[in-house]
Homo-oligomer: A and B are copies of this chain.
């Protein structure tokens, strides 16, 4: 059983993440109306929002410590929030500001917060191998930290994921692969592209336990993830965990979603894991006041982060030339030693 305190924490992060995505949507569309121009407005470029997927993020990440590693894919905000990424600097990054996590160089698909060991990649499934690598490092160092790789159900057909299952399994690594199944990979429904109904069915072929939480339920995820992460932390090897989530918005902002049946979208909107957790909290005695206090705090936190981000300085054009390397391009040394090499007459 999940404690009430923990439930409140999950709920708080879920409403934070939801409010965050809704507010980013507004900010993103600024300057892009009426004619949508992807390069206009305060947040240009692609934006993939995760409204409807909060349960997976919070259910998993609330088992994690700062020294546990998480890699997230192109749709990372809910996971970042649940993992405790600095919300202000993350927001500044999304707005392309100099004080952002990546000094405005990365953008929303490339959030790196080494303080909580969070990283992203916009390339499908390519966060899986580095997560396995973080787990390998923990194992080599005899530390009990673990790693979690998040990916979409569309990513389970990608070599990087499948190879990582074997790699993690054969080296017995403390890593959990979390598949967020939102039924869609952009416009492609999963049955069009994937042979198995449940991604977790792939686990057995890699000698790994596989579980699926087939409803969008933060508490169910929390319990399943607790087991998986516990296995990892106890050095009992990797797990594949799939979670049914829903996509409340388009794949990216500006997605016309003409491919999507109306009833699919309606069903996604109806099946809201936040409502579900809210009613559980009510069953546990929380009232309107309690819930709106939590929501109020969450909204305030989001508004503060957005307001802060928008006040941050833009990077200068010439900042673009920094940070390709952390060492000067010449590497660690700048002078060659002088040996007297017998016979080395061609030097």
Contacts and interface: CB of A to CB of B under 8 A. Distances in A.
Interface of A: 157-160, 162-163, 165-167, 169-170, 192-196, 201-208
A90 to B, nearest CB: 31
A295 to B, nearest CB: 41
A202 B196 CA distance: 12
A173 to B, nearest CB: 11
B169 A163 contact: no
28 contacts: A157-B163, A157-B166, A157-B167, A158-B159, A159-B159, A159-B160, A159-B162, A159-B163, A162-B162, A162-B163, A165-B195, A166-B194, A169-B195, A170-B193, A170-B194, A170-B195, A195-B206, A195-B207, A196-B205, A196-B206, A201-B204, A202-B205, A202-B206, A203-B205, A204-B204, A204-B205, A205-B205, A205-B206
| Interface hub of A169, A205, A206, A207 (most chain B Cβ within 10 A) | A205
A211 to B, nearest CB: 14
A31 to B, nearest CB: 30
Contacts of A163: 157-159, 162
Contacts of A205: 196, 201-206
